[in-house]
Amino acid sequence: MKTAILRMLRNANDEYISGQKLSELLNVSRTTVCNEINTLREYGYKIDAVSRRGYMLKSTPDIVTDFAVGSLIKSKTFGKTIVYKDEISSTNILAKELAEKGYEHGTVVIADTQSSGRGRRGRNFESPKGVGIFMTLILKPDFSPYCAPMLTLLAALAVSDAIEEIVDVPANIKWPNDIVIGDKKICGILTEMSIQADYINNIVVGIGINVNNESFPDEIKDVAGSIFTQTDRKINRDVIIERVLFYFEKYYNAFLETNDLSNVQDVYNKKLINLDKEVKVLDPKEPYEGISRGITNTGELIVEINNKIRHVASGEVSVR
């Protein structure tokens, strides 16, 4: 109910919408409408009420609940079901449990904070309360498990587009999936897959975005930043989440046409911070250096070393 009322208030575009109209459209009593409006106010929504005119939304708090995000959703599949928790160990862990329990393809799990946010290579992901986005998408695709790593690149594209649209600054991609504003990483993505033989049970794509953080712990402050530290702007996180889901759906549909990245390769390469730059590939066997020439249509990084081409499938790359 809160989702529907909030959606109508948001869509009223600075006009009053009457309690009568809300109650008719939602098929509930005026008292129910009034109670729901009061609950929204308790969450921090400023809603003006004027007799004989109705309600008008004046301002929105920075919260990422199911109704805050749900009332903005424009995508068809991703975000149709939203599971929200104030605090959780990791949205990836809950998403995996929910996927096993039968939650549908496109479900998104969102938390306001994570007590053990997980990064790639077993690292920890700083997940402070009230300033970041911690979200995980559940996918149940019928393509080959070999396609799974490409989803991470699609998610990177979606985050980059969302930020660029909202904040209007370049949000570049450091291959394969870190988002960088200026010289600081502001987003990380962790994709995990559950397979049986060569069949995908489910894939979870976890996205962590530093949005309104004002500072970072000493251990990461040289590399990590937030949208706020990099642009001096505070943004409501629900708006970013909605855009990420919208663009993820767009890129996912483009991907499904070919089951590879052919349709998005050029866009990705334009955003690639490493393009035509010297990179150091931190291969666990033996690190090597070369010039990055973009990605292949399966998402590998093309690295030119002494006029020879190598395709890097995984591993870390640092811009020199």
Query: 2 or 184, CB closer to ligand BTN?
Result: 184
Among 79, 141, 206, 290, binds ligand BTN (CB under 6 A): 206
114 known member of a binding site: yes
Handedness of CA 211, 216, 220, 225 (dihedral sign): positive
CB of 157 to ligand BTN, least distance (A): 16
196 known member of a binding site: no
Give yes or no for residue 189 binding ligand BTN (CB under 6 A): yes
Within 94-123, which residues bind ligand BTN (CB under 6 A)?
A: 114, 117-120, 123
From 20-28, 130-138, 229-237, 291-299, span contacting ligand BTN (CB under 6 A)? 130-138
Per-position DSSP letters for 94-160, written without gaps between them? HHHHHHHHTPPTT-EEEEEEESS-B-GGG-B----TTTEEEEEEEE---S-GGGHHHHHHHHHHHHH
From 19-27, 86-94, 150-158, 236-244, span contacting ligand BTN (CB under 6 A)? 86-94
Instruction: For residues 72 and 261, give the distance between their C-alpha atoms in angstroms, rounded to a whole number.
Output: 28
Instruction: For residues 126 and 216, give the distance between their C-alpha atoms in angstroms, rounded to a whole number.
Output: 9
Among 6, 99, 139, 190, binds ligand BTN (CB under 6 A): 190
- Find residue 194's DSSP bridge partners: 202
Of 186, 162, 190, nearest in space to 247 by CA? 162
Query: 200 or 207, CB closer to ligand BTN?
Result: 207
Number of residues that bind ligand BTN (CB under 6 A): 19
CB of 119 to ligand BTN, least distance (A): 3
Within 48-77, which residues bind ligand BTN (CB under 6 A)?
A: none
Of 233, 136, 231, nearest in space to 191 by CA? 136
Give yes or no for residue 134 binding ligand BTN (CB under 6 A): yes
Of 60, 2, 48, 50, nearest in space to 26 by CA? 2
* 3-state DSSP assignment of residue 215: coil
Which residues are annotated binding-site positions? 90-92, 114, 118-120, 185
Which residues are annotated binding-site positions for biotin? 90-92, 114, 118-120, 185
Residues that bind ligand BTN (CB under 6 A): 90-92, 114, 117-120, 123, 125, 134-136, 188-190, 206-208
